[in-house]
Amino acid sequence: MEFKKEFIEDYKELLGDELEVFLDYLRRPLRKSIRINTIKKPVKEMLPRIEGWKPKAIPWCAEGFYVEARGVGNEPGHCLGHYYVQEAASMIPPVVLEPEGVVLDMCASPGSKTTQLATYDCVVFANDRVRRMAPLQHNVQRCGATNVILTRQDGTRYHSNFLFDRVLVDAPCTGVGAIRKKYEIARMWSRRAINQLVSTQKRLITRGFNLLKPGGILVYSTCTLSPKENEGVVDYLLRSHDAELEEIALPIKRSEPVLEWRGENYHSSISKCLRLYPQDNDTEGFFVAKVMKVG
Ligand SMILES: C[S@@+](CC[C@H](N)C(=O)[O-])C[C@H]1O[C@@H](n2cnc3c(N)ncnc32)[C@H](O)[C@@H]1O
């Protein structure tokens, strides 16, 4: 697997001596993991049924398990919505959000996090853009998530007559953390793509924050690792709004968030964010920020 020269330059600057380990992990296939859908069956009832898959608990998500099996997405249990095939790091944002009341999932398709949010005692507004509604609708139905309302709006201009208790912005991104799943992402990667996405990400996080009740919580997450798309976007929000970052207490190995990148200094509280390289926990790469609306 080859990487572009600029990609190597960026990650050499970020990781120094750890670059080779990082590239090595990007070349390894991901461990298979599932999240048991507790809307349909409790974990203790499901575990004996999947014993043959040698389930191993994922420490940061009580319903998440690594499994040793092929074709779990083709099993009747999948069709029945007994579980969702979901990458272990992707289970983090809903856990961090602590869903309650009315929740907006602004970029929801195909619905792994929507269906996870729906397992909590809350109502979920799951939004995405036009062409992405079909997989979202299918997964919500498959999982029997009757507390989900689908909306189809441009999240950057999302209209609502009321404010939300919680907002999840699982933003579109360059997806570097997901290269292990799809090598195509490495081929498509460019600094230009990062710059284009940053503008959308800033508008999404701003709109999401403005739709939040005072005292409410917003989680911003991506499956990429470029500082501009992560720490840079959160820094932008902190500097322009009454937002404060909260600590993320999870049993997980984490890397230091980036506080300075190519001449830009980010807010010191950004050290509370979660930056996960694939080599930290043998997962996808991920970034998660937990923001509180002051007031
Ligand atoms: C990282 S994916 C979301 C994955 C999803 N949260 C999950 O866990 O299954 C990002 C999503 O953002 C959506 N998106 C991109 N631009 C958007 C916009 N302006 N408004 C709403 N959604 C947008 C994409 O269609 C895509 O489905």
Q: Ligand 1 centroid vs 170 CA: distance in angstroms?
A: 7
Is there a single domain that holds both residue 180 and residue 59? Answer: no
pLDDT band at residue 295 under the 50/70/90 scheme: confident
- CATH number of the domain enclosing 80: 3.30.70.1170
Range of the domain at 72: 31-86
Are 190 and 58 contained in the same domain? no
Atom of ligand 1 nearest to the CA of 139: 9
* Among protein residues, the one whose CA lies closest to atom 13 of ligand 1: 107
Residue 6's contacts (CB-CB under 8 Å, 6 or more residues apart) are 190, 191
The CA distance from 168 to 93, in Å, is 8
- For 195-240, write each residue's pLDDT tens digit: 999 999 999 999 999 999 999 999 999 999 999 999 999 999 999 9
Q: Is 28 in the pocket of ligand 1 (CB under 6 A)?
A: no
Quick one: DSSP state of residue 223? S
- Number of domains the chain contains: 2
Q: Do 65 and 144 belong together in one domain?
A: no
What is the distance in A from the centroid of ligand 1 to the CA of 109?
Answer: 6
Distance CA(22)–CA(12), nearest Å, equals: 10
Looking at the fold, whether 70 and 160 belong to one and the same domain comes out as: no
Q: Which of 122, 143, 173, 223 is catalytic?
A: 223
Do 35 and 110 lie in one domain? The reply is no
What ligand 1 atom has the least distance to the C-alpha of 93? 8
Nearest-atom number in ligand 1 for the CA of 158 is 20
Do residue 64 and residue 182 come from a single domain? no
Residue at which a domain ends, from 44, 71, 86: 86
The pLDDT value given to residue 154: 97
Which of 86, 109, 131 is the last residue before a domain boundary?
Answer: 86
156 and 16, same structural domain? yes
Both 98 and 242 in one domain: the answer is: yes
The residue contributing the CA closest to ligand 1 atom 20 is: 155
Tell me, in angstroms, the distance from the centre of ligand 1 to residue 221's CA.
11
| Ligand 1 atom with the shortest distance to the CA of 168 | 6
CATH number at residue 257: 3.40.50.150
Can 223 be counted among the known catalytic residues?
yes
Residue 114's nearest CA partner among 83, 150, 88 is: 150
Domain end residue (candidates: 69, 86, 103) = 86
Confidence tier at 130 by pLDDT (50, 70, 90):
confident
Å from CA of 53 to ligand 1 middle? 31
Cβ–Cβ under 8 Å, residues 229 and 197: yes
Same domain, 111 and 98: yes
pLDDT confidence tier of residue 27, bands split at 50, 70 and 90: very high
Residues 13, 77 share a domain: no
Do 124 and 256 lie in a common domain? yes
The finding on whether 208 has its CB within 6 A of some atom of ligand 1 is no
State whether 93 and 58 are in the same domain. Answer: no
170 lines ligand 1 (CB under 6 A): yes
Residue 288 has pLDDT above 90, yes or no: yes
The pTM is what? 0.98
SS3 string, 172-214, reads: CCCCHHHCCCCCHHHHHCCHHHHHHHHHHHHHHHHHHHHCEEE
Report the nearest-CA residue for atom 10 of ligand 1.
172
